[in-house]
Structure 1
């Protein structure tokens, strides 16, 4: 299912992220470089969305709770055909740009939640999943569904240290939100250094005690395993699911796997070395090949088809309601 073009697209997400952060001379390259495979897998294989109609109400929601890794999201949006140009990426973190340091809802096309303060994105995702189930109960019928979308969130270790994420996760488990899936970028590194200096709890046990399913992907670069885990999570309709993906922060960079790559540009030499590691061009910046955009833009076609089908379903529902009222 995955081929060389997919790997090229993943590396394009990484290089776009490091280039934008390097140009801005600020940002967090570690998460986009480490989490690119899991995010790409979700967006290219699973996510139901329509860039041509980014506010389509039955789209799957994606919340980047670890909002400091915003270049991951911006790269995905650009490659998927949302209204975010390569020039917007070049203006990352600049005044009045469409690519602020942290994602902002209703400002950048395709962003579903404003995030930054860690943990809050998880809480917002829980609220979205609860809203989906409420609308599902109101409008769905036995013979057809009007509302059936999923909510996905991507978080890091820092998100799980916050009280707001714990409270929301407990509520999600209690509510049995089976359409909520949390991708956990588990890299064992914080901005301060190795994670074990400040965090040692068993996340798996904690979330299972909340009523969540926990799945583990041992290799964050194994897209097939990531996809299998997401598909398994979608089969569990009675529990929210955490998919813990073990990643290497700043994958491909000279300082990969350390806190040095968490919240600072790689530097010119670091960018060159990272691109060389990924067998890319070490001189070109903001390089984006057409075949990479083609892979993700296929999602646009899928989203358009689903939106058209939903419109037909809603029209049928309206007719049924009118006929029912006339016959009563």
Structure 2
């Protein structure tokens, strides 16, 4: 399933080019969005934990990252090619557990720094709505802020990209509308709960923030360690590794479905091998350019999907009405 299939099966032949366009952009997107940037999160998290305990120095980081990249490439290849299903099963159970612990620890940071909450929210609203914020750095900076906000939001929850529907298509259900509601709930949990708590961890803890710098996992870990101490860096590193690794596997599925739609199943295994090797690139290179490329293809994926969603909106309304009418009869 996924956008390429609901475009092909739901719209007439005049719109089928959208399905092929989405699949092509999808194949290109997975290498950056789903792999390299996620591997970078893993290496940064592990490096931060090792630095905190003095296990390695800055000079050794490149070698450690290369080793991490090779190990991840092997694991990704084995899971996607079906060699080690047990790791996927362990990740499936570990990620929800890590997510719950992450939320509890993040909530703890907020509670322990409760006195900072009023100042944090005042600074957020002042930064967003005061006239000087919009006009101070010229109009261009306002559009850059919007671009970053939208691109990071999409990166977080995939809303509008259509990729989530590829995963939901694997569900064993006779009620697609009900499955769709789960998809809506995901966006709320991921962005509203997890991302808001992460922002509060950083802001409430009072860690110095270098505006304009590409600080992600390292900044989040610093927020935790400034409140709990260096011991928590081990947990946050493990949690972030689990989150990122499960994302890599999920996007591997997305990419496989997209390239299969374009070229058939014969290309799946070569694609999976190539996708796995990108982990080494993500672990060792400067990802500034990769982030920009990933964000660009994210936006390009959204265009054909949003056109299709708009054209199919009448069908969606009809299905939802039928679903609720059926639920009423069942009751």
If the length of structure 2 is used for normalisation, what is the TM-score? 0.30
If the length of structure 1 is used for normalisation, what is the TM-score? 0.30
More helix by share: 2
More strand by share: 1
- Which structure would you say has the larger RCO, counting Cα contacts within 8 Å and 6 or more residues apart? 2
